[in-house]
Structure 1
Amino acid sequence: MSGLSGRDPSLLRRINSTVVLRALRGPATPTALTLTELVHASGLSRPTVEGVVEDLIEAGLVAEAEDAPDPPRGAARRGRPARRFRFRAEAGHLLGLEIGPHRVAAVLSDLTGRILGSLTREIAETAPADVRLEKCRATLAELLRRTGTARDTLRAVGVGTPGIVEADGTVHLGTALPGWTGLPLGERLRRSFSCPVLVENDANAAALAEHWKGAARGVDDVVMVLAGLSPGAGSLIGGRLHRGFGGAAGEIGALHLLGREATPERLLSTTDEPLHPLDEAAVARVFAQAKGGDDQARRAMDRFLARLVHDVAALVLALDPELLVVGGWASGLDGVLDPLRAELARYCLRPPRVALSHLGETAVATGALRVALDRAENELFTLDEPEAAH
């Protein structure tokens, strides 16, 4: 709370509003409470709670609940039921956006993170940056139109994208998308919105998503790998995302540069020609051929998995996670987990549990939404200064 002081006339009002909103939000889902219940839950005086509730109603964040709860069975109603108040989750909206090589995907929620709609649009991997950004804007606009959501109700937009992302949303290095290195992505997207736009690396976003709604729920020390020919990883340490000093933590796809002769796309090739780094269909064919008994494909898959395990083991040895979640295209392929478990057991002092992503191809967009939700919750339910946008 570096921006607050005892001389700040709004400090007490902000504290009281935050306490009341927290009570109405509840530990898991919003609930409707009477003034008496709010007094007990907040520890504030009744006159203070009454004033705060009126202010929050005027701000559009609280409303009187329309339906009073039924009395206990066998009990008679006595007089007019006490007024009950609820947090208006519909008072604002949040957007999560994935920008990938082959598609853009958007997901919309209310202020509790309840999903209201989603939309995916395909795009050519060769599309230049301006075309890709225009596709993003069109996809978001269509989703807002389909759900009947006014743009000015958006409280935050989260974005997940490949590459090393700086604190201001600039892509420091991004080789998966044409024209992405050096792109001021956050600045470009903010022109379309009046709310904060927060840009995050795609593997980091996927890690947040799995922790929120997927395979890593209830687990605070997690490595999430988006497995591909150039894999990336996101890590949670003690439940908090670890980005590293410059946002480059988890870029295990660069390990093949450390004096290794074969690139991943050559390791998985069954011919003399390397696979295209972004050709997921070609990768799936090699795995399918290996599963079908093709010796050449099996050898190629073994080479690739051995390289992936070496890359992942570097993070596992450094971070000692409880859980390793595998996503990306590998999450849709059979036979990935057992080889990974066996190899990690060979190389790691304490191998983690290994699980496939529960969210699959929706992980990055869902994680981007979580980034936006974190920003909104920080503004509504805490007194800390909002974190800088990523």
Structure 2
Amino acid sequence: MMGAPPLLLGVDLGGTNCRMALVEPEGQTFQEERMPTEASSGRTVFLQRVEGLCHEMIRRAGEMDRAVVAIGVGAPGVISADGVIEISPNLPQLNGLSFAEHLQAVLNLPALVMNDANAIAVGEAQLGAGRQFSSSLTMTLGTGVGGGLVLNGRLWEGADGAAGEVGHIMVEPEGRPCGCGSRGCLEQYSSATGLVLNALEAIDRGVPSRFSSAEISQLTSQNVAAAARQGDAAALAAFAEGGRRLGQALAAVANLLNIDGVIITGGASASLDLMRPSLDAELKIRGFAIPVRRLTIVQGILQDQAGMIGAARMAWDRLLHSGNAGGI
């Protein structure tokens, strides 16, 4: 394959699954793989499993007569500029680990480690639904709510790399306790987890529901969405509450930043249509007219590939082409 472009190894490291792909600098992916994260296995076993899959992906690139020139990793939590995982609530065994340095030593490749929501934001901004926007917020509605900001074509990580935590905008001062230590954070209402809590609260208030006692004890956001589409009142109330809280947070974002767009990704994004009526109503009430008119809310299009592509692109730009990185 003479003249074929080099490859990056893109990794999306989640609390549940680890996804990897070989990625060309322009974003084309090959040889996608995933494995359970098994976070409870401890740091040593966890790292051995990740390293093993990395070596396997590099071997596959060699079989294609292609060379892997760098690795980019999106990981959950607060990641320092030099690739240290400062705090990762979903992967606490990695807290304090200089992950970039570790991978570089083990794989003998330049390595970049960044926040997973930022990686998703880069992927969507460069190759996904965010290409139409100069400035955007990408929100991931999963177990929690992650966020990544791209302002005037550049990823905005803040002074310490901790910017974009939209999931911890407070939407209810005395609301539900959050894992971050605060109360009433957006992710307690509009994440997949929050939507289930909304449904349970609605049922407790006596809102009619078709869920049996057994179903109530094992509710998932997918169950709640399916019930809402069948007209279940408690399920509809859950999405109305999630949309209302999301609208409150996005009004604050619009008023503060006056960005072009918001890109919604993650498992719960498939039910965005169920939240849009209350979201739009709240946004109109709480946001200033000019930034709200400007704001366009869309669903992401890269799905599970976004984080892998974004991390690989950042590795290409920052590790190999830092002198002429194309914006991001």
Query: Into which bin does the TM-score normalised by the smaller protein fall?
Result: 0.7 to 0.9
**Aligned mates of 2:29, 2:283 — CA distance in 1:** 36
**Structure 1 residue 321, shift from structure 2 partner:** 1.0
**Aligned mates of 1:228, 1:94 — CA distance in 2:** 26
Q: 1:170 to 1:304 in 2, by over 3 A?
A: same
For 2:231, which of 285, 293, 316 is the aligned residue? 293
Instruction: Tell me, yes or no, if structure 1 residue 268 matches structure 2 residue 211.
Output: no
**Aligned mates of 2:272, 2:324 — CA distance in 1:** 47
Matched AA of 1:358: I
Structure exhibiting the larger radius of gyration computed from Cα positions: 1
For 1:145, which of 50, 53, 59 is the aligned residue? 59
Q: 1:337 to 1:238 in 2, by over 3 A?
A: farther
* Residue of structure 2 in register with 1:308 after alignment: 246
For 1:375, which of 312, 318, 328 is the aligned residue? 318
* Residue of structure 1 in register with 2:286 after alignment: 347
**Aligned mates of 2:149, 2:324 — CA distance in 1:** 26
C-alpha root-mean-square deviation of aligned residues, in Å?
Answer: 3.0
TM-score computed with the length of structure 1 as normaliser:
0.66
**Aligned mates of 1:287, 1:383 — CA distance in 2:** 45
**Aligned mates of 1:313, 1:173 — CA distance in 2:** 29
Identity across matched positions, percent: 29
Kept in 2, the 8 Å contact 1:111–1:373? The answer is yes
* Residue of structure 2 in register with 1:210 after alignment: 124
For 1:250, which of 164, 175, 183 is the aligned residue? 164
Q: 1:140 to 1:149 in 2, by over 3 A?
A: farther
**Aligned mates of 1:140, 1:132 — CA distance in 2:** 13
Q: 1:303 to 1:374 in 2, by over 3 A?
A: same
Counterpart of 2:148 in 1: which secondary structure? strand
Kept in 2, the 8 Å contact 1:268–1:304? The answer is no
Kept in 2, the 8 Å contact 1:96–1:107? The answer is yes
Matches within 5 A, 1:39-54: none
**Aligned mates of 2:106, 2:250 — CA distance in 1:** 38
**Aligned mates of 2:82, 2:104 — CA distance in 1:** 11
Matches within 5 A, 1:114-193: 114-124=28-38, 126-148=40-62, 153-193=67-107
Structure with the larger RCO, 1 or 2 (CA within 8 Å, 6+ apart): 2
Higher helix share: 2
Instruction: Tell me, yes or no, if structure 1 residue 318 matches structure 2 residue 256.
Output: yes
Kept in 2, the 8 Å contact 1:268–1:301? The answer is no
**Structure 1 residue 304, shift from structure 2 partner:** 2.3
**Aligned mates of 1:360, 1:113 — CA distance in 2:** 14
Kept in 1, the 8 Å contact 2:37–2:46? The answer is yes
Kept in 1, the 8 Å contact 2:8–2:24? The answer is yes
Counterpart of 1:232 in 2: which secondary structure? strand
Matches within 5 A, 1:232-251: 232-251=146-165
Gaps of 5+ in 2: 178-187, 205-217
Matched AA of 2:104: R
Kept in 2, the 8 Å contact 1:165–1:247? The answer is yes
TM-score computed with the length of structure 2 as normaliser:
0.78
